[in-house]
Amino acid sequence: MSNYSKTSIQPGPRTELHDTLALTGAEVSINTIPAGGSVPFVHAHKENEEIYGILSGSGKMVIDGEDVALKAGDWLRVAPPAHRQMFAAPSEAIGFICIQTKAGSLENFTATDGFLC
């Protein structure tokens, strides 16, 4: 049995990697919203925080009624109960990665979980 999973994705509006990579501790999606478009709904979560990495373009996220400007290179964490909706700029698409994980679940990170083999 292999200790890794690998996939290759094609450009598209949304690709979820949960099933493809057999993820057990996070949900990861790669997303593109066309110029002038948006996620078609406002949403929140019960337990999961979301981490957004803006890969290309620009836009905004409305979080609890506040506009947060976003551009390539920005990273944003959104707490579970926050109401959120993503929008692309009128003149360009926005590409982003979204990582969901249970808030408060990180017990170790590289410096404390990793070891030399």
Question: How is domain 14-103 classified at the CATH fold level?
Answer: Jelly Rolls (2.60.120)
> According to the model, what pLDDT value does residue 1 have?
54
The domain ranges of the chain are: 14-103
DSSP states of the chain as a string?
A: --S---------SEEE-HHHHT-SS-EEEEEEE-TT-B-SS-B--SSEEEEEEEEEEEEEEEETTEEEEEETT-EEEE-TT--EEEEEBTTB-EEEEEEEEETT-----HHHH----
Q: What is the mean pLDDT of each run of 10 residues along the chain (117 residues)?
A: 86 88 93 96 96 98 98 98 98 97 86 84
